[in-house]
Homo-oligomer: A and B are copies of this chain.
């Protein structure tokens, strides 16, 4: 691919990615002032990976985790955010959602030069599959960050969706503990008063 055409493709992708800043999540900012968008959420998560690297196992490559988190939500440009705790929370992880996200990945990563598009799509699929150490740790962080936002903002989506302690444990705690067990022990103690 000629250099100019390569840059055209790269900027088609980078300009399209800008739309992630307009995808709203169920979770609010820490100060509760407004819903968080998926662009700033992706930044915050990458910062989580940088700061909480010492919670990861020795087999985790933090630089790969950061890259994974930078791109993990791009499919939401087409599909939107599918909250874990919402009334239609069953949609999270449903076959329809998975199929729609695969179509979105095809379109969005397909904007890039082929070598980059294939590499980033594979990285996103690795995140989604949550099997490798890097993906498992990335998923743990993706579950921790909204917990902290809810805790700091006085309940957030736990209040909105009347989440019980058992639901938090099964929907969130199990996933955090899988990649960062010591971190979940600490977070669990922090949230206990809220669910007491």
Q: List chain A positions with a Cβ less than 8 A from chain B.
A: 3-4, 6-7, 10-11, 13-15, 17-19, 21-22, 29-31, 33, 36-37, 39-40, 42-44, 46-48, 50-52, 54, 63, 66-67, 70-71, 112, 116, 120, 148-149, 152, 182-183, 186
Contacts and interface: CB of A to CB of B under 8 A. Distances in A.
Given A51-B112, A112-B51, A39 B33 contact: no
7 contacts: A3-B186, A7-B183, A10-B51, A14-B48, A43-B70, A46-B66, A63-B66
B40 A17 contact: no
A79 to B, nearest CB: 18
Contacts of A36: 21
A31 B15 CA distance: 9
A32 to B, nearest CB: 11
Nearest to A36: B21
B149 A51 contact: no
**Total identical chains:** 2
A30 B51 contact: no
A29 B33 contact: no
Given A14-B148, A37-B40, A63-B66, 10 more contacts: A4-B186, A7-B186, A15-B148, A17-B44, A18-B152, A19-B31, A21-B36, A43-B70, A46-B70, A50-B67
Contacts of A42: 43
A71 B3 CA distance: 30
Contacts of A15: 30, 148, 152
A153 to B, nearest CB: 10
